[in-house]
Structure 1
Amino acid sequence: MKNKKLKALELDVEAVVRTHPELEPLMYKNIPVGLEGIIDIFDLDDVKRGSFQIQVDFSARYPNGFPSLRELSKLIPREIDRHIYDNGNCCVTVLQKQIIESKRGITIERYFKDYVVPFLANQIHFEEYGKWANEEYKHGYAGQVQFYQETTKSTDLSIILKAIKIIIDSTKFSRNEKCFCNSEIKYKKCHEQSISDLRVIGKEQLKSDWDQINEILEEEKI
């Protein structure tokens, strides 16, 4: 790891530890490769609601690559409905979102803020109330379809397929022409940002997703 990138990682880790002082860096050849320890979860009134022992492993390609979270205290039931596997690995978001974050780059500090803390806080809420504090991603491929629905702001699978196909086929659009979704709105004010976000995923994954979403659409027509 080059000195500039290593320094950025070290400062990033220091920022996380300042916020969560019971976490300690995991080191390999004087390079931080993860964090392990206790993390306290507080509500909006700054009242502690719970604590977890966790381990977060960094990507060797930092800041590219998506970190991973493992819950070591076994306070979360090892159930797929709780988005956690038998080994404690936590599914904090869908694969497509991980790919986007990985390619665009994500700091460890933001990973904790946007994924680790919300995931654990939501687990506490579920344990207390039997439901999630906010809408959760569905399981398996249904969750990935949900990602596309949110990204394209459409529940119409045919629109989602069109958006994905545009990227696969490298179709070019004028920003001022009407959008492909038949909204009668200019492309730049409609789906341009969605296409930009989805393009980051890469054609190989998009082709696989197109096939599976198309299969769902065909089944709905039967």
Structure 2
Amino acid sequence: MYNIDRHILKNGYACLGVQAEIRQKWPQGSLIVDFIENIIEPFLAWQAYYDEFQKVPPWGERSHFPDGILEYYAELLQLSESGLIKDFMTLLARKNNPKGHEFCPCQSGKRLRHCHRELIDNVRKIINWEVVGLDLKQINSFESKK
């Protein structure tokens, strides 16, 4: 039943999205009904639309694998350059909060406290550093296979 265009993986599992995006929509401590409403129902609606019209729904889709992960973080961080996105992800994937005197990963040359500190703090409130680390590991795994 493998069909990557339908977001069905080789093992038959459904690709429900980027790990961090799923965690954002279904935070730790949420009920299973929230998972069904926020993750499963949109996936099934997407599949039903595709079945009916044989095309991607107008609300779109995430790209596959590392591209989809980078898309999610680009939206979250409001960035467009993939190298910068990975630099921000590396900072977000650290267990400890970054220090204000560190240079900002946006390459402005400014210290974090005078640049994107608020953004980093806000994203860390939404997404656990370990989840960012898993997403980053997935990107690096795909890039090393190229």
Give 1:194's match in structure 2, choosing from 111, 123, 127.
123
Aligned-pair identity in percent equals 20
Matches within 5 A, 1:141-220: 141-167=66-92, 168=94, 170=96, 171-173=98-100, 180-181=105-106, 182=108, 186-187=115-116, 189-202=118-131, 204-205=133-134, 208-209=137-138, 211=140
Q: Quick check: 2:20–2:131 contact (8 Å CA) kept in 1?
A: no
Give me the whole-angstrom Cα distance separating, in 2, the residues matched to 1:87 and 1:203. Answer: 24
Correspondence for 2:56 = 131
User: Closer, same or farther in 2 for the Cα pair 1:127/1:204, shift >3 Å?
Assistant: closer
Correspondence for 2:33 = 109
Matched residue type, 1:140? F
User: Closer, same or farther in 2 for the Cα pair 1:86/1:157, shift >3 Å?
Assistant: closer
Give me the whole-angstrom Cα distance separating, in 1, the residues matched to 2:23 and 2:4. Answer: 21
Give me the whole-angstrom Cα distance separating, in 2, the residues matched to 1:207 and 1:88. Answer: 24
Secondary structure at the residue paired with 1:104? Answer: coil
Give me the whole-angstrom Cα distance separating, in 2, the residues matched to 1:118 and 1:211. Answer: 28
Aligned-residue Cα RMSD (Å) equals: 3.7
Q: Quick check: 1:126–1:133 contact (8 Å CA) kept in 2?
A: no
Q: CA deviation at 1:119?
A: 1.0
User: Closer, same or farther in 2 for the Cα pair 1:140/1:210, shift >3 Å?
Assistant: closer
Matched residue type, 1:162? D
Matches within 5 A, 1:56-135: 78-85=2-9, 89-98=13-22, 104-129=28-53, 130-135=55-60
Aligned length: 137
Matched residue type, 1:125? Y
Q: Quick check: 2:6–2:47 contact (8 Å CA) kept in 1?
A: yes
Between Structure 1 and Structure 2, which shows a larger proportion of strand residues? 1
Q: Quick check: 2:8–2:15 contact (8 Å CA) kept in 1?
A: yes
User: Closer, same or farther in 2 for the Cα pair 1:155/1:164, shift >3 Å?
Assistant: same
Mind listing any 5+ residue stretches in structure 2 that lack a counterpart? Answer: none
Q: Quick check: 1:100–1:201 contact (8 Å CA) kept in 2?
A: no
Give me the whole-angstrom Cα distance separating, in 2, the residues matched to 1:209 and 1:92. Answer: 15
Mind listing any 5+ residue stretches in structure 1 that lack a counterpart? Answer: 1-76
Point out the structure with max Rg over C-alpha.
1
Q: CA deviation at 1:78?
A: 4.6
Between Structure 1 and Structure 2, which shows a larger proportion of helix residues? 2
